[in-house]
Amino acid sequence: MMAQLNTEHFKNQFDSDGLAFIPSFQSQLEIADIQNNLDRVIRIVVPTMPPEHVFYEDKQESSSLKQLQNLHLHDDYFNQLMNDSPFRELAETLLGAKVVCKNMQYFNKPPKTGLATPAHQDGYYFKISPCAAVTMWLALELVDHENGCVRYIPKSHLKSMRPHGSTGTLGFSQGITDFPNAEDTANEVAYPAQSGDLLAHHALTIHRATANHSPNRTRKAIGLIYYREDAKEDLKARAAYKSQLLAEMNAKQRI
Ligand X SMILES: O=C(O)CCC(=O)C(=O)O
209 lies in the site for ligand X, by CB under 6 A: yes
41 lies in the site for ligand X, by CB under 6 A: no
Q: How far is the CB of 3 from ligand X (least distance, A)?
A: 27
CB count in 10 Å sphere of residue 6:
10
Q: How far is the CB of 96 from ligand X (least distance, A)?
A: 21
Q: Which of residues 77-106 bind ligand X (CB under 6 A)?
A: none
> Which of 54, 65, 150, 198 lies at the binding interface for ligand X (CB under 6 A)?
150
* Cis upstream peptide for 23 (omega within 30°): no
Length of the chain: 255
Among residues 3 and 109, whose Cβ is nearest to ligand X?
Answer: 109
> Which of 14, 21, 56, 107 lies at the binding interface for ligand X (CB under 6 A)?
107
**What's the DSSP call for residue 110?**
-
CB count in 10 Å sphere of residue 33:
14
The Cα 223–Cα 240 span in angstroms is: 24
140 lies in the site for ligand X, by CB under 6 A: no
Among residues 122 and 184, whose Cβ is nearest to ligand X?
Answer: 122
> Which of 66, 157, 202, 207 lies at the binding interface for ligand X (CB under 6 A)?
207
221 lies in the site for ligand X, by CB under 6 A: yes
Report the number of secondary-structure helices (H) and strands (E) in the chain.
8, 15
> Which of 26, 103, 117, 167 lies at the binding interface for ligand X (CB under 6 A)?
117
- Residue 162's H or E segment, with its range, is none
137 lies in the site for ligand X, by CB under 6 A: yes
> Which of 110, 123, 196, 223 lies at the binding interface for ligand X (CB under 6 A)?
223
Q: How far is the CB of 126 from ligand X (least distance, A)?
A: 10
Among residues 93 and 147, whose Cβ is nearest to ligand X?
Answer: 147
Pairing label, strands 54-56, 65-68 = antiparallel
> Which of 122, 184, 188, 197 lies at the binding interface for ligand X (CB under 6 A)?
122
Q: What's the sign of the alpha-carbon dihedral 246, 105, 117, 122?
A: positive
Binding to ligand X by CB under 6 A, coded x per residue (else -) over 163-202, reads ----------------------------------------
**What string of DSSP letters covers 29-55?**
HHHHHHHHHHHHIIIIIGGGS-GGGEE
CB count in 10 Å sphere of residue 240:
12
Coarse DSSP helix, strand, coil percentages of the chain, rounded to the nearest 5 percent: 35, 30, 35
Among residues 22 and 150, whose Cβ is nearest to ligand X?
Answer: 150
Q: How far is the CB of 121 from ligand X (least distance, A)?
A: 9
**By C-alpha distance, which of 86, 195, 85 is closest to 139?**
195
Residues that bind ligand X in the complex, under the rule CB under 6 A: 107, 117, 122, 135, 137, 150, 207, 209, 221, 223
